[in-house]
Chain A
Amino acid sequence: MNPVETAGAEILSEIVRIVNATTDLEERLRQIVDLTAHRMGQDVCSIFLLEDGRLVLRASQGLNPESIGRVSLSLGEGLVGWACVHRVPVAVDNAQADPRFKYLGATGEERFQSLLTVPILLQGECIGALVVQTLSPSSYTSDKTELLTTIASAVSGVIRTAQLYKNSQEQLAALTAISEISRALISTLDLDRLLNLIVEKSVNLLNARGAILRLLNPETQTLEIRASYGLPPDVARSRALAFGEGIAGRVAVDRRPVRIDDASRDPLVAATGLFKSILCVPLVSKNQILGTLALYDRGGDLPGPFNERDEHLLVTVGEHIAIAVENALAHERSEALAEESQRRLMELSILYDIGQAMSTTVDLNRLLQIILTGVTIGGGLGFNRAMLFLYDDRARTLEGVLGVGPRDAEEAWSIWQRISHVQTVDEWAKTTGRTAEAEESALTKLARSIRIRVTPDAGVLARTVLEAVPFNIPDALNDPRTNPELAARLGTNAFATVPLIAKDRVMGVILVDNLFNQRPITEDDVRFLMLFAHQAGRAIENAQAVAGLDAARKSLLELQDRLIQTEKMAALGEMAASIAHEIRNPLAVVGGFARRLMARLPEAMTAERHYGEIIVKEVKRLEKILEEVLAFSRDARPDLVVCDVASLLNEVLSFIEDDCRENGISVTADFPPEPVYALADPAQIKQALLNLFTNAVQAIRRGGEITAHLRRVPAPEERISIEIADTGGGIPNDIMANIFNPFFTTKAAGTGLGLAITRRIVVDHHKGEIEVVNRPGEGATFRIHLPAATVCPLPEAKEDAP
């Protein structure tokens, strides 16, 4: 081994020791220049390193220490620069005499005479130069040049190691930053908190001075600012960007990062005048663009524009961010779903509560009030006011029946204060029984003043019925669907209507508004109200069914009453009949012998004859009474045959003829010339008619007129009409209702059975009708209708007649 090799080997082993002793590049270089100067017997040893195209003095033994890091040469400048450009060692004995020499004032190098410099090469590239100098002139042998070249290659190795170390340090820092961000990203699922964390951590990572995170709103397809850092509030709240608009818009479309030094290209940021450089990356997850993250202006120890390493780092972090944002969005969606289920559960529980309240009554008025209260109470649907209209589908009208809600804002306030402690509608229903309050409310009066004909052009209320769909009217004045008069009467500009439906039939409409708190009615509100209206519709239907049952029950009870009454009368009739029979025999005997007695009394015994006459007359009257009582008994079944009513009437008229003549009563008979046939029991009909005529005679007493009309009313009525009118002064109004009652009489000596029997014969036995036209002060007209016989009597019957 020659001396150079030996010296070289020693120096190299020293350098290895230096490298192992310290990790700091500056310190290593300082020790290397110390070592080299000392071992090679030089006054100066320096290292220049190429940084950004200039050779910067990085270490020196012998030159002014102040100049380290401050002094530099361009490539080709001075002997050092020349050596670097030509990649060859340069040795000059008298440096200042060499035209290539460049005097560097700050270093104090003018004192040095000779100079040897070799380029430091790394993988074929020149990365700097190693220089030695002496005060006294000296000549550099090739040995010394060779030795310095060897040291230069060792320095190259040191620098290479340092670069690798620095790179790995930087990578470690980036990984640490990423892991820190990742930790932050998984620390929350709350989207807003996450987005704020993202901008904060990203700003820290790149030492940026500002950041904007935008997310894509899938509905509007715009990029909305969701989080920002270091920006004034007006910028942070600025409008969303469309796809392709601005830098963020372009990044979102291209899905590639953008790094620019001139922020004036982003008008939003340029307007603030705050930032110069921008780095914007897309946030992409599962191949979907979620948004963008933009950072502004690098600060910290390396201020200025963002570099490639920053971009790479932010892109890497951006992938993690995108996943975290995606997760948070998914979480938010599931939260929204959970909230939705919660809301539906709430709705169901409200419906259940109101349902419970509704089930407490079948009284329709009370039910309607519960329904409207359910619509307005805080624990229910929570509208300010509600009105209920019922639909009459026969008349095709919709009529307000009830209103629930405060009269004005003041009353609204006091009511809300009062009921704030009431939890549910059910509780309300149990604690309140004031139907009357709602009955008399101003809103009820308002509701009842509204009555509309349901036609397609009559406005929203009518259409709610006809189309069976809800209407939400946010601005009644400018809504062509509404009738301006309705909105004016309601005093509101926003309202909603829903149909009350039961079994596919619209039975009414509920109208709601929020007049007092002006809360807009949402589609969700309407949907819920619709659900409720279905329930309410069924309840109303039930109540109406119950009301129908109730009415049916009442009429059954009445019918039962009447039957009992009839039974009583029948029992009375039977009893009367049996008594009548018992009396009849002895009466006939008494009367019979009285007549015999009369026949035997001589004319002269006038007083005795008078007594006898009285007995005979009284017996006659008693027998007549018995006749009527017995006729009223139920066994008098009709024996229906085809008979001529005209001849029956004539027979009856002949019975009363004498009576009428005696009392100055004229009788007019107005009968058609041909027979008028009816299917009737002749004896019963005669009895019925006789009763009417007898009544007429008794009503007139003396001097008057009885008119009998008979006519046949042709098909479709197909009946016989008999009218008996008198001039007997009519029937007092107060007894009109009683005249057909059995045993009702105005006569001193009457059974009160005459009209009752007549009615029984006509109505019960002949399915006919009887009516009275009373003319108080003048007279009365009794009109009997009997079904006409559609066939004539058999010819044999006529032949049999005498």
Chain B
Amino acid sequence: MSAKRILVVDDEAGVRELYREELSDAGYAVETAASAREALQSLKGSAPDLVTVDIKMPEEDGISLLREIKERWPRLPVVICTAYPVYRQEFGAWASDAYVVKSADLGELKTTLRAILGA
């Protein structure tokens, strides 16, 4: 069984780098995108098994991207990965499949991914 593919969308290079390494170590095939535009291009190529999106990004923000993904690939799971804990209620239950607050400890994110992807 090939590794599950995850697309990490974040405007900060440090975050993309950390996620790529951590999630690769956890056994996922990780791709990254630095913006919503890049993310959509990547999705048109070949769809991953899950996408993580940051909320606050320059140009198009994560919320619009989330809506667009859910419109075009309704079955693709999207996890919000953000520094803002306050929107948990609003977005967590609404459009995304999970809402994870960014932390140096990626334990919560990995637990969430496992729960969704069943790996």
Contact = CB atoms under 8 A, between A and B. Distances in A.
B28 to A, nearest CB: 16
Contact of A585 (B12, B21, B86, B88): B12
A227 to B, nearest CB: 109
B102 interface: yes
Contacts of B106: 592
Among A585, A590, A591, A637, max chain B CB count under 10 A is at: A585
Interface stretch (A47-55, A136-144, A465-473, A615-623): A615-623
Chain A contact residues, majority secondary structure: helix
Contact of A594 (B12, B89, B104): B104
Contacts of A332: none
B56 interface: yes
A760 to B, nearest CB: 14
Contacts of B12: 585-586, 589
A450 interface: no
Contacts of A596: 18, 21-22
Contacts of A580: 83
B103 interface: yes
Contacts of A639: 89
B85 interface: yes
Contacts of A591: 103-105
Given A630-B85, A633-B86, A636-B86, A595 B21 contact: no
B56 A581 contact: yes
A584 B83 contact: yes
Interface string B77-88: 000000111101
A588 interface: yes
Interface string A621-656: 001000100110101110100000000000000000
Interface in A412-433: none
A593 interface: yes
B84 A581 contact: yes
Interface in B70-119: 83-86, 88-89, 102-106
B53 to A, nearest CB: 14
Nearest to A634: B86
Given A585-B15, A589-B15, A630 B104 contact: no
Nearest to B55: A581
Nearest to B89: A639
B45 interface: no
Interface string A573-614: 000010011001111111111111000000000000000000
A626 to B, nearest CB: 8
Q: How large is the interface on B (under 10, 10 to 19, 20 to 34, 35 or more residues)?
A: 10 to 19
A690 to B, nearest CB: 14
Given A584-B102, A587-B104, A593 B83 contact: no
A4 B6 CA distance: 194
Interface string A693-706: 00000000000000
Interface string B9-32: 000101101100110000000000
Contacts of B18: 588-589, 592-593, 596
Nearest to B88: A683
Contact of A623 (B22, B56, B103): B103
Contacts of A636: 86
B86 A635 contact: yes
A589 B14 contact: yes
Interface string A654-667: 00000000000000
Interface in A123-141: none
A620 B105 contact: yes
A584 B89 CA distance: 20
B104 A585 contact: no
A581 B88 CA distance: 15
A616 to B, nearest CB: 7
Contacts of A620: 104-105
A760 B102 CA distance: 25
A595 B86 contact: no
A627 B83 CA distance: 10
Contacts of A594: 104
A61 B72 CA distance: 180
A212 to B, nearest CB: 113
Contact of A586 (B14, B17, B22, B84): B14
Contacts of B22: 592, 596
Given A589-B14, A639-B89, A595 B83 contact: no
A636 B106 CA distance: 24
B15 A627 contact: no
A630 B86 contact: yes
B54 to A, nearest CB: 8
Among B18, B85, B105, max chain A CB count under 10 A is at: B85
Contacts of B15: 585, 588-589
Among A577, A592, A594, A620, max chain B CB count under 10 A is at: A592
A585 B106 CA distance: 13
A585 B62 CA distance: 15
Given A581-B83, A585-B12, A588-B83, A595 B105 contact: yes
B89 A585 contact: no
B22 to A, nearest CB: 7
Contacts of A683: 88
Among B22, B83, B89, B106, max chain A CB count under 10 A is at: B83
A633 to B, nearest CB: 7
A89 B21 CA distance: 191
Contact of B102 (A585, A630, A631): A585
B89 to A, nearest CB: 5
Contact of A616 (B56, B85, B104): B104
Given A581-B84, A589-B12, A592-B104, 18 more contacts: A577-B86, A585-B14, A585-B102, A588-B102, A588-B103, A589-B18, A590-B104, A591-B103, A591-B105, A592-B22, A592-B106, A595-B104, A596-B21, A616-B104, A619-B104, A631-B85, A633-B86, A637-B89
CB-CB nearest 4 A-B residue pairs: A591-B104, A584-B83, A589-B14, A592-B18
Interface of A: 577, 580-581, 584-596, 616, 619-620, 623, 627, 630-631, 633, 635-637, 639, 683
25 contacts: A580-B83, A584-B83, A585-B12, A585-B83, A585-B102, A586-B14, A588-B15, A588-B102, A588-B104, A589-B15, A591-B103, A591-B105, A592-B104, A593-B18, A596-B21, A619-B104, A620-B105, A623-B103, A627-B85, A630-B84, A630-B85, A630-B86, A635-B86, A637-B89, A639-B89
Interface of B: 12, 14-15, 17-18, 21-22, 56, 83-86, 88-89, 102-106
